[in-house]
Structures are given as C-alpha cells and as structure tokens.
Amino acid sequence: MNDSREIYLYAVLGLSPAVLTETIWSLATRKKPVIPYCITIFTTNKGREALEEHLAEHWDAMVNALKKKGVTQYIPRLQTSRKIILSNGRDDLDDIRTQEDNLKMADQMLQKIRDDISDKKRPIVYASIAGGRKTMGAMLHSVMSLIGGGRDKIFHILTDKTPPKDSVYPWQKKEPGKPFVELELAEVPFVPLAGMLKKEDLGRLKFNELLRAMSESVAEKSYNFSLNAGESSLVITETSTGEKDKIKLGYVGFLILSTFFRRAMERKNRNENVVSGEFNFFAPAAGETEYESDLRREYNRICKKIRADKIPSAERLKSVALKSDKSDIVRRIKKSRKSDWQIIRDMLLPSRCYCSNIDASKIGFEDYE
C-alpha cells in the first residue's frame, strides 16, 4: 500500500459468514493487495455463532491458499487481523426485525467507527455491505456517508453465477456438477458529508440526531459556483443570502477547476486511474487518463481567454505537478471560506475523483463557454 495509514475493515454479516472470507480474499488478491489491520463485524447472536464456526474451519485454509497465490509477504498482517471484534451492541440481538433493531445497529456502527477514526493518525475505512439483512448494509452505507472520508470505500461482493449453498470460496475445488464461482469486489459509491457538520456534532450525536443535523445543514447551505477566465477567479454565491465571495486562482489551478466543472456538467464519473506525477499541457503522454485528455482540451479551449500576465512560461506548462496545484486551490478556498471551506472543497474537488460533485444547474462560466 502507498498510504502509511492502516486500513480498518467493517462488515455486516448474517448467517452467511463466507462473505467475510470472500471479501478478505478479494482484497488480498488485487493488483495492489490490501490486508486489513483490524476487522470489525456487526452481526447478531446467531451470526456470531455461525462466523466463529466458519473461521475455525476455514481461516487457515484461506491463509494457505493466499500463500499459493503469491501474497506471502502480506500474510503476517493478515494473521494479525485475525483478531476479529464482534460488535452487536449492549443489547444483544438475535435478529434484525424492527425499526428499533435497525437504529440500535446503526448507533453501534456509528459509535464504533467514530471511536476508531478519532485518533490523530486516522485509519482508512473499508466497509463491506455484502452480508446480513439488506437494512444492515443500508445502515452501514448511511453511517459511512455521515462520517466517512475521501479515501474510505464501501464494497459489495459480486459473483459471476449463483454459488452452491455449501460453497466456500476461494479454496473450493472444481467438482463435477458444481460450478466454480468467480468473485468481483465492487466498489459502491457514496458521498462523504462529514465536512458539512460541526466537529462537536460529529463526536456526540446518535445516528438519528446526526441525520437530522445533516438535513438541516444541507437545507441551510446551498451554493452556486462560477468561473471567470479573464480574472482567473472562482465566484461562490451562497443562495440563501446572496452573499458572493471571489477567490483568485493560479493559472493551472483555474484550468484544473474548469476541467472539473466541465466534467461534472458532462456527467463524467469517477476515474480510478491516478494522474501521473508530471503533466505536459502541450503533448499527451503514453497511456494518459481521460481526465488528463480533458484537461488539455480545456487548456486549448480557454488559454486565450486568460490574461497574458497570468500565463506561466512554456517550460512550466511542459512539466506541471497537478497535485500541487490542486492543493493550492484548496489552500485559497480555506483562506477565503474559513467557516465552510471543507464543504466547498468536498463539492469542488472530491478526493480520488476527477469531476466535481455539483449539479450542472449550480455551475456557470462567466466569460467563456
């Protein structure tokens, strides 16, 4: 892993505990293997019993199968993560049957994850919603939306065919009459909303209270955004008050934000390819991403619209550190919008996503199309 922070895995499970080992297997056999440092399971009493029996029978077989797959160097961390925390709240639940049960589980999820991410060195959170009742997965998704961050992820397990009832992946053998099932770890999109709430609310409110506070915050805060090429500026208008704030941007920063807006209007979604370290505005590199191609197109579209004194040297434009210029946009927003800069940042420049999370009706280009 490139990131130095540990990854914590949270999963909901019912009476199909194989979902957990399927998830771990899928993470460990990716191109860049991921082994969770800590695993927390949200389940019921019956689910706890089924999981403990499943682990006793199949965990060592999974570890051995991973060794045969060539991920030996990750096994020590995998064995460390065998310490699984079974969380089902102070009031043990035999099943999730009522709305009260759902809220108990949601409060438990919220409290546990919030406690784990409160340290200065915040872990990256992975959440698996593949197991348990549908409402359990829905609640975990909601909790992640409320307190998750830009690097956190939600996953579900997909299979290419219906597995046999007694199937245990991945060390199942190809037997006559039994289909061999392929797994796919599918990422489920979510919008992290934590930046829209006060820190004290995030740290003390229960699930329902946090939802209510979030709804009120969304109703109160609404923005329109526009870009002015001649001034190389971003104008933020708070719709409830009509208050405007103009933020001056650097040349490359303006092009980055304009590209993000353009992609949002064209409904271009997440691009998982990481932008290369250095970017050349004049010549495409081999294997460049769709986002990089769009950024160069935006440069060609509006380079003559921006004031000449704003344009850097050709040598600079041949070797641009996009990550640094993106960070500069965030710094300028933070300096100008002290109270809500995190909300604005997450809307304009969401992490690991190369378009803005803004409705097209909220975006404007003042002096160019």
Q: What is the pLDDT along the chain (369 residues), one digit of tens a residue?
A: 445 568 999 999 988 888 898 899 999 988 888 889 889 999 888 888 888 888 888 888 888 888 888 887 777 777 777 667 766 544 566 777 788 888 888 888 998 999 888 876 789 999 999 988 888 999 999 999 988 888 899 999 888 777 766 677 676 666 666 667 788 889 998 888 776 666 666 777 888 888 887 776 665 568 899 999 888 999 999 887 788 999 999 989 999 999 999 988 887 765 545 555 688 888 888 878 888 888 889 888 888 787 777 778 888 888 888 888 888 999 999 999 877 787 788 888 887 677 787 888 899 999 887
Dist. CA 88–CA 109, nearest whole Å:
9
Tokens of 196: 């829209």
Contact present, 95 and 79 (Cβ < 8 Å): no
Dist. CA 106–CA 144, nearest whole Å:
11
Verdict on whether the full-model pTM lies above 0.85: no
- Domains of the chain in start order, with CATH, are 7-212 (3.40.50.10770), 221-365 (no CATH)
